[in-house]
Amino acid sequence: MENKIFRNFISNKGLKLTKERLAVLNEIFSFRGHFEPEQLYLRIKDSEIKASRASVYRTLNLLVESGLVGKVARTEKGNVYEQTFGQEHHDHMICDRCGAIIEFCSQKIENLQDELCKKNNFDGTSHNLVIRGLCKKCKRTKR
């Protein structure tokens, strides 16, 4: 399914469907959860159909543009991504010490956002909410 969407996206943009791009797509959709580009590259480097670090980064940008992948956040260490196709919307809490990511969703917050958009005459299409602080574990071992 994501495969079809990607083919469509590529073709609409007049780009080429290369094995490297498919390798990146498949690797990302072979698991669930968050990932960083470098990790992704290391996985692909050891897989059947390989792709270089440059191609991984390039494809990642295409996938974000296509809507199949989303940028969760930019941390001290770099970008964190996740697949967005077929996933329910959710927001994130990120631990500043250990980097743990907690997902949550709140229909109430969504509703309030819609309300605020109306009030400001803004046609909202997406949003990104990140709460930072210390996770359960880290707040126990302060400092």
Partner DNA sequence: ACTGCAATTGAGACTAAATATCAATTAAAC
Partner DNA sequence: GTTTAATTGATATTTAGTCTCAATTGCAGT
- Interface characters, 18-57, with its own copies (x: CB under 8 A): ----------------------------------------
If the CB atoms of residues 49 and 54 are measured against its own copies, the closer one turns out to be 54
For 95, the 3-state DSSP assignment is: strand
35, 30, 28: which is closest to 63 by C-alpha?
28
If the CB atoms of residues 44 and 63 are measured against its own copies, the closer one turns out to be 63
38 binds DNA (CB under 7 A): yes
CA distance 46 to 15: 26
- Interface characters, 87-116, with its own copies (x: CB under 8 A): ------x-xx-----x-x-x-xx--xx--x
CA distance 80 to 88: 18
Q: Is the CB of residue 109 less than 8 Å from the CB of residue 129? A: yes
CA distance 3 to 9: 10
Binding site for its own copies (CB under 8 A): 73-76, 93, 95-96, 102, 104, 106, 108-109, 112-113, 116-117, 120-136, 139
